[in-house]
């Protein structure tokens, strides 16, 4: 038997990641939305209130994004200030760069499906090898002030839609897809794929939805995904 004949068939062909809390972490568990709101002096209760309104169906996801980013713009947020907040307070999770680069070298389709903003990857992982990136986007004018923005349709339950789109686009059955996430907004994706992975899960329901759980800590990191 040759080495090629002996090698087991690969079970997964596409790997998709969440960003905040998964690829990217904060020492106190905050996400980029909280950081920018704090830096611009927004009322810290607004984010929680708007999230509750979204869950009740009182506002859409796009309206929620409009309210938050609109507040930042009204308070004069600039690209430079937002990049500084990201650079100073957020960082790639341990092993994130190495595991993504290794997966790319092994030939997997790679994707990001996240409710983060595109600036996070631009600042922390500008050389990322992801083939597909679904995030919220913020655009700046010539002097660096917020000009326009685009809410992603692929957060919360929309993550399922993103995976279905990617599966069709790449010709990959959903059973041969993996998703790595940490929070309840990842549940629709975790429940859909063949290999659901929870990294440092923030809720027991997320842990329960995963086939593999990778705890965050000194002795564990995202490299635990490779086996």
Mean pLDDT, range 201-224, rounded to an integer: 88
Q: Report pLDDT digits (tens) over 14-47.
A: 999 999 999 999 999 999 999 999 999 999 889 8
47 vs 146: which has the higher pLDDT: 146
Count CB-CB contacts under 10 A for residue 126: 7
How many domains does the chain divide into?
1
Residue 202 has pLDDT above 70, yes or no: yes
Question: Distance between the two ends of the chain, CA-based, in angstroms?
Answer: 24
- The answer as to whether 32 is a domain residue is no
Domain with 106 in it: what CATH number?
A: 3.40.50.1000
Dihedral (CA of 180, 182, 188, 191) sign: positive
Q: Which residues of 164-175 are buried (b: 16+ CB within 10 A; e: fewer)?
A: ebbbeebebebe
* CA 138 and chain centroid, separation: 16
- pLDDT at res. 17: 98
- The one-character DSSP state at 17 is E
Domain that holds residue 97: 3-26+92-225
- pLDDT at res. 10: 80
Residue 224 has pLDDT above 90, yes or no: no
Q: Which of 200, 227, 203, 225 is nearest to 215 (CA)?
A: 200
Q: Report pLDDT digits (tens) over 181-195.
A: 999 999 999 999 999
pTM over 0.75: yes
Q: Which residue has the tokens 């169906």?
A: 57
CA–CA separation, 166 and 14 (whole Å) = 9
Mean pLDDT, range 152-157, rounded to an integer: 96
Q: Report pLDDT digits (tens) over 63-121.
A: 999 999 999 999 999 999 999 999 999 999 999 999 999 999 999 999 999 999 999 99
- The answer as to whether 42 is a domain residue is no
- pLDDT at res. 9: 63
Average of per-residue pLDDT values in the chain: 93
- The answer as to whether 127 is a domain residue is yes
Residue 4 has pLDDT above 60, yes or no: no
- pLDDT at res. 6: 40
CA–CA separation, 23 and 130 (whole Å) = 12
- The answer as to whether 158 is a domain residue is yes
Instruction: Return phi, psi of residue 106, to 5°.
Output: -80, -5
């Amino acid at each position: 038997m040759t080495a090629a004949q002996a090698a087991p068939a690969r079970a997964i062909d596409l790997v998709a990641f969440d960003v905040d809390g998964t690829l990217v972490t904060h020492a106190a568990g905050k996400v980029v939305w909280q950081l920018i709101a704090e830096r611009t002096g927004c009322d810290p209760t607004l984010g929680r209130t708007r999230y509750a309104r979204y869950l009740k169906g009182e506002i859409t996801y796009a309206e929620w994004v409009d309210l938050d980013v609109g507040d930042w713009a009204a308070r004069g947020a600039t690209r430079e200030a937002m990049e500084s907040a990201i650079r100073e307070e957020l960082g790639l999770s341990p092993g994130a760069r190495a595991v993504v680069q290794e997966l790319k070298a092994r030939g997997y389709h790679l994707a990001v499906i996240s409710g983060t903003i595109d600036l996070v990857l631009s600042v922390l992982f500008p050389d990322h090898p992801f083939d597909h990136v679904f995030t919220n986007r913020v655009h700046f004018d010539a002097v660096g002030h917020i000009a326009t923005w685009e809410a992603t349709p692929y957060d919360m339950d929309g993550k399922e839609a993103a995976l279905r789109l990617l599966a069709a686009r790449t010709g990959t059955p959903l059973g041969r897809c993996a998703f790595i996430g940490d929070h309840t907004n990842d549940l629709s994706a975790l429940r859909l794929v063949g290999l659901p992975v929870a990294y440092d899960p923030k809720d027991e329901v997320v842990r329960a939805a995963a086939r593999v759980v990778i705890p965050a800590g000194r002795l564990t990191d995202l490299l635990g995904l490779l086996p």
